[in-house]
Amino acid sequence: MKSSCGTRFTFLVLYLFAVQCVYAGSFHKDVKIHWGDGRGKIHDNEGKLLSLSLDKTSGSGFQSNQEFLYGKAEVQMKLVPGNSAGTVTTFYLKSHGATWDEVDFEFLGNISGHPYTLHTNVYTKGLGDKEQQFHLWFDPTAGFHTYCITWNPQRIIFTVDGIPIREEFKNSESIGIHFPKSQPMRVYASLWEAEHWATRGGLEKTDWSKAPFTAYYRNYNVEGCVWANGKSSCPAKSHWFTKKLGKGGMNKVKWAQRKYMVYNYCTDKKRFPQGVPAVCT
C-alpha cells in the first residue's frame, strides 16, 4: 500500500504540472486596443487588467492579434455600475466580410436598480436571428465573473461562471443549417452606445451626466487553432476541441433557462408565424 505521504507528493506533482500547463493570456501581447482614442487602457505590467470607457464622443474596444478557426475564448468582466441605460458591453468572436460568422455575448445596460440583460446570438454567413436573453443570477457590476465561448467543429457552447446557459448550437449542416466552420474569427470586446434599442427597446436613454462609463476585463485567455497563411494550427489534445454537454451540463442549461431566460427565439411564434427556425427542432 502506498503511504499517505507518497500519495500527497504524487498529487502535488500532478497539481503543479497542471498549473504549469495552463496558458495565461496577456492584454499586452495578445490584443490590440483598436479604437477609442485612449479610452481603452491596460492597467498593469503583466497585462491582466484592461478597461474600456464610453463618453458622449466615443466608446472603445479591443481585438485579438490572432485569428482562430475554432477555439475557447474566456475573460472575466465587471460591468458598468449604476445607471448604464443605453450602453452595450461586449465579448464576442467575428470573421470578416459581408457573409461573416459571429458568436456574441452582449450586455445591455439598464437604469439603476434594474438588471442587465445578457444577449447571446450566433451569426452564420451574415445571418443572425438566434437570440436568447437572460437576467443573471448575480450582480455583474459588483465583481468579476467569467464568460466563455467554446467553438469546436461540432458545437458552440456559452458558459457563465462555468454554467452553460444555452443548449449547444450544434453543427447541423446535414439538414441544411449553416455552421461557422470555414471563416477564421478574431476575439473582440467593446463598450458602446445604443440608446435607440438597448434598454427597453430604446425607451430608456443614456444619462450622459454619468459618463464616462467604464467596464473592466481581466484574465483574458484564448486557447485555439491559430489561423495563419491560409491554414489553422491546433494545440494537441485540447479538451475544448471535442467538448460537449453531458446530462449534467444539460441539466444546468435547463436550470438557467427555467429561472433566468427572458427571451428565446425558438419559442417566438409571433416573430416566426410560419414556424420556428429548423435549428430549434
Domains and CATH numbers, the chain: 27-267 (2.60.120.200)
User: For the chain, what is the mean pLDDT?
Assistant: 91
Q: 37: helix, coil or strand?
A: coil
pLDDT of residue 44: 97
Q: How far apart are CA 183 and CA 74, in angstroms?
A: 20
pLDDT digits 0-9 by tens, 175-196: 899 999 999 999 999 999 999 9
Which of 46, 67, 74, 102 is labelled catalytic?
A: 102
> Would you place residue 2 in the very low, low, confident or very high pLDDT band (cuts 50, 70, 90)?
very low
> Would you place residue 154 in the very low, low, confident or very high pLDDT band (cuts 50, 70, 90)?
very high
pLDDT digits 0-9 by tens, 28-59: 999 999 999 999 999 999 999 999 999 999 99
232 near 68, Cβ under 8 Å? yes
Output the nine-digit C-alpha cell for 220: 483574458
Task: Please tell me the pTM assigned to this model.
Answer: 0.90
* Preceding peptide of 212 cis, ω within 30°: yes
State yes or no: is 106 an active-site residue.
Answer: yes
84-115: b or e for each residue (b if 16 or more CB lie within 10 Å)?
Answer: bbbbbbbbbbbbeeeebbbbbbbbbbbeeeeb
Which of 106, 168, 193, 204 is labelled catalytic?
A: 106
Q: How far apart are CA 125 and CA 148, in angstroms?
A: 22
pLDDT of residue 24: 66
3-class DSSP string for 110-150 = CCCCCCCEEEEEEEECCECCCCEEECCCCCCCCCCEEEEEE
- Segment (H or E) for 63: strand 60-64
